[in-house]
Structure 1
Amino acid sequence: MKKINHIIFGMMLLSAVGCKKDFLEKRPQGELSQEQLTNQKGVEATLTGAYALLNGNLSGTWGNYASGPSQWLLGEVTSDNAHKGSDAGDQPNMNALERHSPTSTNDNLSTLWTRCFEGIQRCNSTLRILAALQASSGEKFADKRAAEIQAEARFLRGHYYFFLARAFKNVPLILENTTDPAVDNTADIYPAIVEDFTYAVANLSTTKPLDQVGRADKIAAQAYLGKVLLYQKKYAEALTNFTAVMAARPAITTLDYKANFDITRENGPESIFAVQHAVGTDGSGGDNGNVGDMLNYPYGGSSKTSCCGFFQPSIDLANAFRVTATGLPMIDGSYRTNPFKSDFGLTTAQKAAYQVERSLLVDPRMDYTLGRRGVPYRDWGVMQGDPWIREVTTGGPFVPYKNSIEFAEFTNGTAPGSTNVNGLNVNVIRLADVYLMAAECQVELGNLPEALRLVNAVRARAAQLPVATDKAVGGAPAATYRVNPYPAFPSQTYARDAVRFERRLELAMEGHRFYDLVRWGILKPTLESYSAFEGQFLATSRGITIGDEDNYFPIPQEQLDRSNGVLKQNPGY
């Protein structure tokens, strides 16, 4: 889905909250009027503009880190999965997020808020202009396409509002017919999000609109509706949607895990809804690329990029991939005993003599989630440890994997003159996520055998992964890789822990973890336990305490100021 750069879609609606009515009635210079857009081309262009905000980019490649669809900063760095990385002095507002001490002036929070509301405004504009066209004497859309456009716009609006609701909770609801800009943020907006996705399910087909792969379809709407219902703990209703999605796709065991992070195999059968990224072909200079992740690469001349060393997997996450002798995860937390730290903390002489710990018992997904010293990293060569890391004492010894691409794809897959902006799509929802959300529903509904089947299907697929090799010893396996199915779920508590742990392993570094911990109600014990463990090695994680306010982020101060008291700050900030 290409970004429309030649149409200005208007000012943020919220930026006008509290202003005089006559100001609101003035159209900004350069903005096309509704009358000019009230035709089929205008409606389609406005809808395309609503899709364009999915990559989080409003005004250039830099600065979109919190609004990117991967949600790496607010969904992972704020959890036990990742560190901000880079060096201690770089992006200090990100440090505050990692340590759960943000203020309302944190620019990353403002970025998410403004980008999502710009997307919402574009969805609302699409719906208004469409309604005006269909009520006019002009050339109308056929009823089927008109309903489809409404469904696409409402799907996208549901997506943007969901991103806001899980981050801020208290969000003003502004729909296409809202006339008073002074909307407070005290009402629960989840019912409206459900309504949007429900409409999308009813009015989209399993065929992509206009045969364009990046558009929302019925399967994506069912998956997203199920996810929103799951967040509301409506397990039976959510499961109905997840079941329909799984029935519409091949069995997870027949699909290649690696394809989810391969720029040459995007939009495959596991991809339920993906943000489409493109670089180098439309003169955008990377604006349509994966700008949200542009900082998140190994750092230094020994790697294939020189920027920027952010988003480093935690030592805790690396150890979560350790398994028992029977090939099961250590869901009791024993993975922290005698932890694997790669070459972290070794002396210069010890690092010079470092060898891969081939006896380490791990899940093979480890080496498709993070880069570790001595193990080949995609086709870039063997990960060299410190030379690929900007500041080891800040971010630890590991580098991210899922957001990067093969070096062989740099020519066509990265923006001209900016190899850290690539065209790799980001899956907002993929099939394994649906399997595990369905398994979660089955646990809560008491159907442990079906939950077991779903979790074991995800694990069976993981067992098919090719193992990483240690080139220093002739290509032998770089660890002892083992993934086996759970023989049984003996209790609901055990099953719940197993499903939650599997979500961490399967979806690590994909933007889900913090939001999962919040909705499960376990953010405080999880992060304070993590702080005690990770803080042994990295000061960035030491002494983190979690209060009730940390389940959500503060409302951006600039929005509070503009509202003249209409918007209320979240409790605790």
Structure 2
Amino acid sequence: MNKIYIIILAVIVMSGCKKDPVVVGPSDKVSTGSFPKSLNDLNTILNPAYGNLKSIGLYGFELMPKALENSVHAGDAQYNGDAAWNEMTANNLSVNNGKSQNAWAALYAGAGACNITLEAADFYEKNYAPAGQKADIDAVRGQAKFMRAFYYFQLETLFGEAYIKAGGVNEGKMGVPIYTEVPKNVESTQQGRASTKQVWDFIKQDLKDAAVLLDNKVWGASEIGRATEWSAKALLGKAYVFTEDWANAKTTLLDVINNSGKTLMPYAKYKDAFNGNTANEFNEESLFEMNIDGDNKGNYGPWGNNPNATTLNGVIWSPYILSLTGTETGSRPLGYGGNLGVHDKNVTRFGYPLGYYTLVNNPAFDSSKPPTPANPAMIMDPAYRTAATAVRTNKTADPRLYVNLVQPWLDVLNINWENGAFQNIPVSKPDYLAGAPNTYGWGFRKYAAIDYHLNMVNYDKWNWYFLRMADVYLLYAEASIGSGDGGTGLEYINKVRRRAYSLPINSASARDYTSLTAATPAINDPVLGTNPLRYERWAELFHEGHWWFDVCRWRLGPQEAAFYGTARNLSTPLTFNEAKSYSWPIPLTEFNANAKIAGQQNPNY
């Protein structure tokens, strides 16, 4: 049905408005009607290529909180009533897993929107475009090619059989089906799986084309979220790293570093760059981000009559604040409670050196007044609080711990909670951990609501970074190391680390790693403890949807499962099957719809 819908959509878009009610199904040919007739029409056709990013199956809702964050154990799910969610946590998916199936369908829908745009651009240029508009049409083509590459990048890294390694290893493994044009009939929707090399070559060529088509294109303030030449080159550099083509990766990424005009934002901005402060959007570090308007168009997040109007990830990973009576029991989530908290192992992975806290009677409690968050009967042990405050002040733990997470009792959130008045209310453990010994109970801060309640507005208000310069620096470091230039690699790792400690990024510091095997902040961590490149990618890009792909391409699955050990929504210890789990299964729905993919499932599914 999805494929038939794509054909119907293509016919409608390419044929324009018709009064004939008989034409309601797929046709063998696309009409050469009257749409698009203007550049505005063409941009209208392009817009779904961007808007599709906010679909329920992608960044609108499911992909991050219900799939990737469980797969890498950034989150620890309290809720265990969703079998597909539990499978993600266990890294043991079934072929009818709803989260992977919805991602597959949404990614191909996005790629299909790009193909429609490219054909519409050709049609418009041939039939209606006035002289002198070629550059504008090419800019549309460039965006469509960038977005198509973006969708196929996601498809290949999630569903491809294996990553290409240096020297061409795995080039003949199974990639994903490639559609280069709008299907004109049902037969043309039947595509077998291309090889991994074919898919990556397709991605790279689209990005090269996009960079040329968008060369020197500068968007006005009302169009600032559109892809640019540097978006394309950054993703191209990433594609080279992910296929271990170190020489091309270095050249491409260095071009971005030297010529894009982008750099790392200062730490003060960085700490406040993930929670909806509009002053920080499209900043000096951002290469491509998804624009989120603080308006759900009357819907509940991505659902309703405008399904891609906004996103609602934060409703799942919301932090908690103290109850109305100042207790952890009955603490209040700033979204939909009881779903997904922070896995405790992430706290020590950022280098937090203290154990668990206890509650003690509040010596300042005023018994003549009712208990409230400002007058709690019990508080964090003051000695622990003093030690925890010193960890922050002295930067004993990685400062990015406090960019990403909020700490019970020490962090205070300014919440418009009751009667329209803002109140400073301490962060709490989730109510389901109240009284539980040996738990940290920290909450998410990055990409979480920290100054409003999501259930009151039903939308996220923060833009989502897909590509930023910290990622580029670390990719360039990896490419340099891969090509034998460890010194340059170490320097670019240290640039990212210096920013985390609010230091000048281009000057050596006492915080620098002295070697590629130096100790990192990660405590008792056999995966990241003596690997600065891995640690910096984990810490810098935590909770941004990148770590799963690093785990898969570096084949860290069993080590990560052993490090995290357990998950709240599973009754057995975490394990990882290297023979299958680095690739998600091709959904059963695809086998039911696509005869040419028969016998091409990923191994061991």
Report the CA distance between 1:206 and its aligned residue: 4.5
Report the CA distance between 1:488 and its aligned residue: 3.8
2:67 to 54, 68, 74: 74
Which residue of the partner structure matches residue 297 of structure 1? 318
Report the CA distance between 1:168 and its aligned residue: 0.6
Give yes or no for contact 2:585–2:602 (8 Å, CA) kept in 1.
Answer: yes
Give yes or no for contact 1:39–1:133 (8 Å, CA) kept in 2.
Answer: yes
- Equivalent AA in structure 1 for residue 80 of structure 2: A
Which residue of the partner structure matches residue 4 of structure 1? none
Alignment of 1:86 with 2:91, yes or no, is no
Give yes or no for contact 1:369–1:401 (8 Å, CA) kept in 2.
Answer: yes
Give yes or no for contact 2:320–2:429 (8 Å, CA) kept in 1.
Answer: no
SS at match of 1:274: strand
In the superposition, relative to structure 1, how do residues 309 and 245 fare at CA in structure 2: closer, same or farther (>3 Å)?
farther
- Equivalent AA in structure 2 for residue 65 of structure 1: F
Report the CA distance between 1:365 and its aligned residue: 1.1
SS at match of 2:140: helix
- Equivalent AA in structure 1 for residue 180 of structure 2: L
Q: Deviations over 1:183-240 (max 9, x none)?
A: 0124321111111111111111354445511100011111111111111011221122
In the superposition, relative to structure 1, how do residues 250 and 119 fare at CA in structure 2: closer, same or farther (>3 Å)?
closer
Give yes or no for contact 2:37–2:128 (8 Å, CA) kept in 1.
Answer: no
Which residue of the partner structure matches residue 403 of structure 1? 447
Measured in 2, the distance between the counterparts of 1:390 and 1:107 equals 32
1:506 to 524, 527, 540: 540
Instruction: Choose 32-41 or 48-57, whichever is displaced more.
Output: 32-41
Which residue of the partner structure matches residue 280 of structure 1? 295
Q: Deviations over 1:149-185 (max 9, x none)?
A: 1110010111111111111113210112655211012
Report the CA distance between 1:103 and its aligned residue: 0.5
Measured in 1, the distance between the counterparts of 2:437 and 2:7 equals 43
Give yes or no for contact 2:87–2:93 (8 Å, CA) kept in 1.
Answer: yes
Which residue of the partner structure matches residue 571 of structure 1? 603
Equivalent residue runs for 1:23-62 within 5 Å = 27=25, 35-40=33-38, 41-57=40-56
Measured in 2, the distance between the counterparts of 1:512 and 1:390 equals 31
Report the CA distance between 1:455 and its aligned residue: 1.5
Bigger radius of gyration among the two: 2
Give yes or no for contact 1:155–1:200 (8 Å, CA) kept in 2.
Answer: yes
In the superposition, relative to structure 1, how do residues 250 and 222 fare at CA in structure 2: closer, same or farther (>3 Å)?
closer
Give yes or no for contact 1:13–1:121 (8 Å, CA) kept in 2.
Answer: no
Measured in 1, the distance between the counterparts of 2:299 and 2:31 equals 25
Q: Deviations over 1:122-143 (max 9, x none)?
A: 1111111111122225657711
Alignment of 1:562 with 2:597, yes or no, is no
In the superposition, relative to structure 1, how do residues 159 and 512 fare at CA in structure 2: closer, same or farther (>3 Å)?
same
Alignment of 1:199 with 2:209, yes or no, is yes
Measured in 1, the distance between the counterparts of 2:586 and 2:463 equals 29
Measured in 2, the distance between the counterparts of 1:549 and 1:219 equals 35
SS at match of 1:261: coil
Equivalent residue runs for 1:295-334 within 5 Å = 295-298=316-319, 302-303=331-332, 305-322=334-351
1:175 to 180, 194, 203: 180
Give yes or no for contact 1:9–1:122 (8 Å, CA) kept in 2.
Answer: no
- Equivalent AA in structure 2 for residue 134 of structure 1: E
- Equivalent AA in structure 1 for residue 141 of structure 2: Q
SS at match of 2:191: coil
1:269 to 272, 280, 284: 284
Which residue of the partner structure matches residue 234 of structure 1? 245
SS at match of 2:459: strand
Give yes or no for contact 2:79–2:569 (8 Å, CA) kept in 1.
Answer: no
SS at match of 1:379: strand
In the superposition, relative to structure 1, how do residues 551 and 281 fare at CA in structure 2: closer, same or farther (>3 Å)?
closer
Which residue of the partner structure matches residue 228 of structure 2? 217
Ranked by relative contact order (alpha carbons within 8 Å, sequence separation 6 or more), the top structure is: 1
Instruction: Choose 110-119 or 133-142, whichever is displaced more.
Output: 133-142
Measured in 1, the distance between the counterparts of 2:207 and 2:115 equals 15
- Equivalent AA in structure 1 for residue 411 of structure 2: P
SS at match of 1:194: helix
SS at match of 1:118: helix
Report the CA distance between 1:543 and its aligned residue: 4.1
- Equivalent AA in structure 2 for residue 185 of structure 1: R
- How many equivalent residue pairs? 504
In the superposition, relative to structure 1, how do residues 505 and 566 fare at CA in structure 2: closer, same or farther (>3 Å)?
closer
Give yes or no for contact 2:333–2:430 (8 Å, CA) kept in 1.
Answer: no
Q: Deviations over 1:387-430 (max 9, x none)?
A: 386997999723211112441x66xxx6xx64352121110111
- Equivalent AA in structure 2 for residue 101 of structure 1: N
Give yes or no for contact 2:564–2:574 (8 Å, CA) kept in 1.
Answer: yes
Measured in 2, the distance between the counterparts of 1:558 and 1:250 equals 42
Which residue of the partner structure matches residue 521 of structure 1? 555
- Provide structure 1 residue ranges, at least 5 long, that are not aligned to the other structure: 1-7, 17-24, 324-334, 466-481
Give yes or no for contact 1:127–1:153 (8 Å, CA) kept in 2.
Answer: yes
Measured in 2, the distance between the counterparts of 1:394 and 1:231 equals 39
- Percent identity of the aligned residues? 20
- Provide structure 2 residue ranges, at least 5 long, that are not aligned to the other structure: 11-22, 161-174, 303-308, 324-330, 360-376, 416-424, 504-508, 519-526
Measured in 1, the distance between the counterparts of 2:152 and 2:436 equals 37
TM-score if structure 2 supplies the norm length?
0.74
Equivalent residue runs for 1:478-489 within 5 Å = 484-489=511-516
Which residue of the partner structure matches residue 5 of structure 1? none
Give yes or no for contact 2:3–2:189 (8 Å, CA) kept in 1.
Answer: no
Equivalent residue runs for 1:413-432 within 5 Å = 418-432=456-470
Measured in 2, the distance between the counterparts of 1:190 and 1:391 equals 51
Give yes or no for contact 1:123–1:154 (8 Å, CA) kept in 2.
Answer: yes
Give yes or no for contact 2:351–2:398 (8 Å, CA) kept in 1.
Answer: yes
Q: Deviations over 1:484-505 (max 9, x none)?
A: 21134479x9999211111111
- Equivalent AA in structure 2 for residue 442 of structure 1: S
In the superposition, relative to structure 1, how do residues 144 and 136 fare at CA in structure 2: closer, same or farther (>3 Å)?
same
In the superposition, relative to structure 1, how do residues 49 and 135 fare at CA in structure 2: closer, same or farther (>3 Å)?
same
Report the CA distance between 1:521 and its aligned residue: 2.4
Instruction: Choose 143-152 or 293-302, whichever is displaced more.
Output: 293-302
SS at match of 1:172: coil
- Equivalent AA in structure 2 for residue 566 of structure 1: I
| CA RMSD of superposed structures (Å) | 3.8
SS at match of 2:490: helix
In the superposition, relative to structure 1, how do residues 28 and 279 fare at CA in structure 2: closer, same or farther (>3 Å)?
farther
Report the CA distance between 1:96 and its aligned residue: 1.1
Measured in 2, the distance between the counterparts of 1:318 and 1:540 equals 22
Measured in 2, the distance between the counterparts of 1:13 and 1:173 equals 16
- Equivalent AA in structure 1 for residue 67 of structure 2: L
Report the CA distance between 1:561 and its aligned residue: 1.1
Give yes or no for contact 1:50–1:123 (8 Å, CA) kept in 2.
Answer: yes
Measured in 1, the distance between the counterparts of 2:32 and 2:128 equals 15
Measured in 2, the distance between the counterparts of 1:238 and 1:489 equals 20
Report the CA distance between 1:276 and its aligned residue: 0.8
Give yes or no for contact 1:86–1:390 (8 Å, CA) kept in 2.
Answer: no
Which residue of the partner structure matches residue 157 of structure 2? 166
- Equivalent AA in structure 1 for residue 399 of structure 2: P
Q: Deviations over 1:236-291 (max 9, x none)?
A: 21122221222223542646322431412211111111011113275566442223
In the superposition, relative to structure 1, how do residues 509 and 538 fare at CA in structure 2: closer, same or farther (>3 Å)?
same
Give yes or no for contact 1:123–1:157 (8 Å, CA) kept in 2.
Answer: yes
Which residue of the partner structure matches residue 549 of structure 1? 580
Q: Deviations over 1:327-365 (max 9, x none)?
A: xxxxxxxx8xxx745569xxxx99875843426531121
Which residue of the partner structure matches residue 113 of structure 2? 122
In the superposition, relative to structure 1, how do residues 267 and 307 fare at CA in structure 2: closer, same or farther (>3 Å)?
same
TM-score if structure 1 supplies the norm length?
0.78
Give yes or no for contact 1:309–1:390 (8 Å, CA) kept in 2.
Answer: no
